[in-house]
Amino acid sequence: MASVLTKNGSLSGRYRYDVLNSVLQVLPADVAAACASQLTLSATAGVPQSMTISSSYAATFAGIQMNGKFTAVTPFNPTFKTSVATTTFTYVVDGWDHFGDPIQEVGAKTSTTLSGARCWRVFSAIKSIVITRTDAVGGTPTVDCGSDCTTVTDATAANTVWVRPLPFKLASANYIVGTQLVSAGEWTVPGSFAVNQIKAASGGVGTPSAADTPYTVNNPYGWTPNRLAREGLTTYLSNVWTPAAGDTPVFRTFWTNQVLDAT
């Protein structure tokens, strides 16, 4: 939550301005293996395997690996891409969120039709990623961990989403209006989107009744818009965001002015 000293002290004017006017964010580029080296899974289920984060300097469009840690250029929710869509697994990601606080996310890829999954928490840096296979199909498929938005896209799944950071934590997603594309950069904008167009946030002002409805794709632990808002997060549909490596679309998330009373 916002510091009471900042909100009510000498910086209160700046605090109120920042809260009311949001901030510009850059969407991370698609880099499938940004966070760690590709992992070859065990042929049998139930074997925890650690993904290797480089100890030497290794940079991509999405961030750097160095000293066994990954640091993001801009905070994002990591994605997992499998070479075989039927592969399922659990994951444990340890690192720091966009507020700089240490966090751990435990999640799973449960879909057997999508080739990827995405974390429900946003990370600014990652120190470890552990994958445990759960299917019994056999073989040795591979898994990448990065910022590959397109791997979790499914036009038929309305709740296939990207998670994005807010500058504060909220008790309810109902204060959030949506996301606006400010500049496409080198990105080719799809027909379902347009510069300055507003895309409503899940469970936000436009759909308040959905704030406690769990997302339906790769969500075994029941994340909802309200749960995300309490962690300083919101979502939008990923099937309108498919930037290639190096593209830099700029966007902003905005909210109602009542958010001043909720932070």
Residue 12: what pLDDT? 62
| Residues 141 and 87 both lie in one domain | yes
Q: What is the DSSP string of 178-199?
A: EEEEEE-TT----TT--TT-EE
By three-state DSSP, how is residue 135 classified? coil
Q: How many domains does the chain have?
A: 2
Q: Sign of dihedral through CA atoms 252, 19, 75, 147? A: negative
| Residues 167 and 257 both lie in one domain | yes
Model confidence at 150, pLDDT cuts 50, 70, 90, reads: low
Residue 168: what pLDDT? 86
Separation of alpha carbons 5 and 229, rounded Å: 22
Separation of alpha carbons 256 and 1, rounded Å: 17
CA distances to 54, 97, 107 from 79, in Å: 18, 15, 11
- Model-level pTM? 0.87
By three-state DSSP, how is residue 216 classified? coil
Strands 63-66 and 69-76, sheet pairing = antiparallel
| Residues 37 and 135 both lie in one domain | yes
Boundary residue ending a domain (114, 129, 147): 147
Whether residue 257 is predicted with pLDDT greater than 80 in this model: the reply is no
Q: Which domain holds residue 55?
A: 31-147
Taking residues 95-115, report their average pLDDT.
93
Give me the residues paired with residue 163 across strands: 235
